[in-house]
Amino acid sequence: MRRILLFYTSLLISFYSFAQKKDSLFVIPDNGGMSIEYIAKTGETVFSIARKFHVPPAILTDANDFSFQQNLSNGTRVIVPLGAYNLLNAEPVNNEAQPYYYRITSEVKPSKIAKYTSASWVTIQRWNHLTTSDLKMGQTLLLGWVMYDATPMTLPKPTPETTRLKVVEEDMNPRTKKTSEVVYVKPVSDSAKPNPDTVSEGEQLFLSQTNQGGSVFEEKGTAAFFKRAGRSTNGIYFAFHNNARRGAILKIFSPVSGKTIYAKVIGTVPNTAVFHNALIGISSDARIALGARSNKLWCEVSYAP
């Protein structure tokens, strides 16, 4: 009887472990980089998954050949690239991260596995309670954690009084443009609209692009300043951003100083040390207007879908 009980207990533990691994995120090596595989759920979009895993939407669409406004059906396989923008350098202190794993399917050296993460092999050994570097086929290793935001991101649902707005979507090639799906936006009453005589040119452009602020995407992250020859004469600065289209007006708010500026997107964030881990690049003439005391600051960014 005891043997039977032990057998079923072992079977239940094995089944639980299998279920855990089935839902886990596994590394997919890709040309020296790495990605994880995620299975989309009903109602999820490119933007919601990009926000969930802290990856720029432009990078996510490139990896999967999706359009920005594409709705993903339940069970869609999504490749989520990993990089400095969404990997943690240490064990998480809260629940805003998900572990990712690597399953050994061929002979591979520990040093190569370590390249799939920012951690050293010694750290990986500690995470996996390994006493040696001997690896076995089919073995699963914890390689680290990817940033994860479980907060759902939804657009306003259409109502009989809801207006429609066509969004122009621009891909990585600035010469190629296409019109995306229809996005539903909440109408703003005339009494709630700001007086155009009391707002800046930048704010007027921002409001016109976002249907008076009724349809916006919001992000939070680090801003890095880049040198600009000259200064803004109309209160509109320049910015690099990976998600907003070229020419879009960004509303940039600093929670520290309580100040807001508006900047025009002139391209994507350059892949240089100056912009390491930066959500956005802002021209240096905006530093005083934002009340920044250094070359980087934390900010909140709003822009049209």
Is residue 47 a contact partner of residue 58, using CB atoms and an 8 Å limit? no
83 class by beta-carbon count within 10 Å (0-12 exposed, 13-18 middle, 19+ buried): middle
Is residue 242 a contact partner of residue 231, using CB atoms and an 8 Å limit? no
For the sheet with 97-103, list strands across it.
77-81, 33-39, 25-30, 97-103, 140-147
**Domain check: are 216 and 296 in the same one?**
yes
Write out the DSSP string of 59-116.
HHHHHHT--TTPBPPTT-EEEEE-STTTB-SS--SSSSEEEEEEE--S---HHHHHTT
**Domain check: are 143 and 219 in the same one?**
no
Strand boundaries in 106-176, DSSP class E: 140-147, 163-170
Place of tokens 């940033």: 147
Say how far apart CA 31 and CA 230 lie, in whole Å. 41
**Domain check: are 138 and 78 in the same one?**
yes
**Domain check: are 107 and 208 in the same one?**
no
Last residue of a domain, one of 95, 121, 147: 147
And the tokens for 120?
């050293």
Inside any domain, residue 173: no
Inside any domain, residue 154: no
**Domain check: are 37 and 132 in the same one?**
yes
**Domain check: are 52 and 119 in the same one?**
yes
Q: Which of 247, 242, 246 is nearest to 281 (CA)?
A: 242
Say how far apart CA 265 and CA 236 lie, in whole Å. 10
**Domain check: are 37 and 139 in the same one?**
yes
The range of the structural domain enclosing residue 34 comes to: 20-147
pTM, entire model: 0.46
**Domain check: are 101 and 199 in the same one?**
no
Answer positive or negative: Cα dihedral of 295, 300, 302, 305. Answer: positive
**Domain check: are 116 and 66 in the same one?**
yes
> Which CATH number characterizes residue 261's domain?
2.40.40.10
Q: Quick one: pLDDT at residue 199?
A: 75
Is residue 209 a contact partner of residue 305, using CB atoms and an 8 Å limit? no
**Domain check: are 193 and 136 in the same one?**
no
Inside any domain, residue 168: no
Q: Which of 275, 213, 209 is nearest to 240 (CA)?
A: 275
**Domain check: are 116 and 208 in the same one?**
no
Inside any domain, residue 158: no
**Domain check: are 218 and 104 in the same one?**
no
Inside any domain, residue 266: yes
Residue 211, SS3?
coil
The per-residue pLDDT string of the chain (305 residues; one tens digit each, 9 = 90 and over) reads 444 444 343 433 333 333 344 567 888 876 667 888 899 998 888 888 888 888 887 788 888 888 766 778 888 999 998 887 788 767 777 667 888 888 888 777 887 777 777 678 888 889 899 988 888 888 898 988 888 887 665 444 444 443 343 333 333 333 333 333 333 344 444 444 555 556 788 899 898 888 888 888 888 888 999 888 778 888 899 999 998 888 899 999 988 888 999 999 988 888 888 888 889 999 999 999 998 888 888 889 999 88
Number of domains in the chain: 2
Last residue of a domain, one of 97, 125, 147: 147
Last residue of a domain, one of 91, 113, 147: 147
